[in-house]
Structure 1
Amino acid sequence: MTWNTILAWIPVGLAWLVFRGDRVSHSPFWWAGMALFILFLPNAPYVVTDIVHLRGDVLAANDGGPVMTAILPVYAVFIGSGFLAYYLALRAALDHLTRLGLEAWRFPATVAAHGLCAIGVFLGRWARLNSWEPVIDPHGTLERIFIHLTWTWAPVLILATFLVTWVGHFMTRAVAEASFEVTRKGARILRANLTS
């Protein structure tokens, strides 16, 4: 879980580096960063698939460990952390579109990100593909992608992952933006009290 959490937050760091300023850079480093951002972004919502380990952890805990006070809260924090990372990374990309004057593309970009992440999560969970494999083994990666995407159940699993990603992002965005608004109002009230 710790490793997957680290991987989930890498896109946030990449977004902070790539989506700065108010124009598209023509630097090859910027485009390399953009490619890495796209490759690593599915790691954030991927954490939800680790719920497959929950049953085993609960069964092991029934031998004497607290399920309600330890295991379930850890999974909730873990999954929440992944979706928070996804929200922050995607928000940075969408805010960059707005700064470029492309605000109309925010919704299509969000849907595209959810779709790409659904495919990435599917390939990560079922093909056991890692984000760096397209760079270090492009031929083998393409072969594995083709084999798994042509599997009969692939569209169903990708659609289910898309829906989970959409709902998780929607809920995280609602909570995060409400929290930001409460914090901003609190800061304004505090400043007003200090200056009066």
Structure 2
Amino acid sequence: MGLMEQMAPNLTGVLRRDAWWMGWNTLLAWIPVLLAWTLFRGRAVSRSPFWWAGLVLFALFLPNAPYVVTDLVHLRSDILLSTQDGPVVTAVLPVYALLIGSGFLAYYLALGAALRHLGRIGLGAWQGRAAVAAHALCAIGIFLGRWARLNSWEPVVAPQAALERVFVHLTWQWAPALILGTFAVTWVGHFMTRAVAEAFRDAALKSARRLHGVLGAAD
């Protein structure tokens, strides 16, 4: 990082402190995308045990994508480690924005693949309700991941211990409020990501058509 240290020393400091956990959480966030592209290809609905096992894994790992928004709990310590206003604006905030944007992009892609699959198999009328159900599932998963420190694989490898922790935390008096707040953040984050992604897609398609028209006229 020699050249980068000279050009952006504050950025390299943030990356040194946070690269491990940010990289790990980003990897977990994109696993649902890989699972979605594997599970929801084509029109046929596979009834094999492997497909259903993959669907369970998809449901367990999907909350990891929007979960990255809770990593803002680390933002305060990174800001305190920056001694001037400049590093916060030019280093800390862009890194966190990239992390959260990546997570919600993964959520948009994974959920979108699942919803399109519903449309292909004749269940398009259920897409809206399925999206709301996915936001609710993620809100519960994010709550359990952040406050119960429950990992996505624990219900599979240690189901009894995971179930006990789930019961304890879901019966906590503040659980409904935290889950409801997380649901709202997840819904808003997905809505904004979808709006930006679809606007970018439409602009790219329009530019491609314009370029094709120019090249066609030149011929």
Q: Which TM bucket (shorter chain)? A: over 0.9
Q: 1:149: which partner in 2? A: 170
Q: Secondary structure at the match of 1:66?
A: helix
Looking at structure 2, the residues matched to 30 and 186 of structure 1 have their Cα atoms a distance apart, in angstroms, of 39
Matched to 1:155, the amino acid is: P
Displaced runs of 4+ in structure 1, greater than 6 A? Answer: none
Percentage of identical aligned residues:
70
Give TM-score, length-normalised by structure 1.
Answer: 0.97
1:51 and 2:72 aligned: yes
Specify which of 55, 58, 79 is matched with residue 37 of structure 1.
58
Q: How does 1:83-98 map to 2 (within 5 A)?
A: 83-98=104-119
Structure 1 range deviating more: 20-29 or 68-77: 20-29
Are positions 1:129 and 2:175 aligned together? no
**2:95 alignment partner, one of 62, 67, 74:** 74
- In the alignment, structure 2 segments of 5+ residues that lack a partner are 1-21
Q: CA RMSD in A?
A: 1.1
Shift of 1:65: 7.3
Number of aligned residues: 196
Task: With the length of structure 2 as denominator, give the TM-score of the two structures.
Answer: 0.87
Residue 191 and residue 135 in structure 1: after superposition, are their counterparts in 2 closer, same or farther (change >3 A)?
same
1:11 paired residue among 29, 32, 36: 32
User: 1:64 and 1:113, CA in 2 relative to 1: closer, same or farther beyond 3 A?
Assistant: closer
Distance in 1 (alpha carbons) for counterparts of 2:86 and 2:80? 9
Q: Distance between the aligned counterparts of 2:192 and 2:161, measured in 1?
A: 37
> Max radius of gyration: which structure?
2
Which SS does the other structure have where 1:152 is aligned? Answer: coil
Rounded Cα–Cα distance in structure 2 between residues aligned with 1:182 and 1:95: 22
SS at 2:150's partner residue?
A: coil
Rounded to whole Å, the distance in 2 between the matches of 1:163 and 1:62 is 34
Of the candidates 4, 21, 25, which is equivalent to residue 42 of structure 2?
21
Deviation at 1:195, TM superposition (A): 2.2
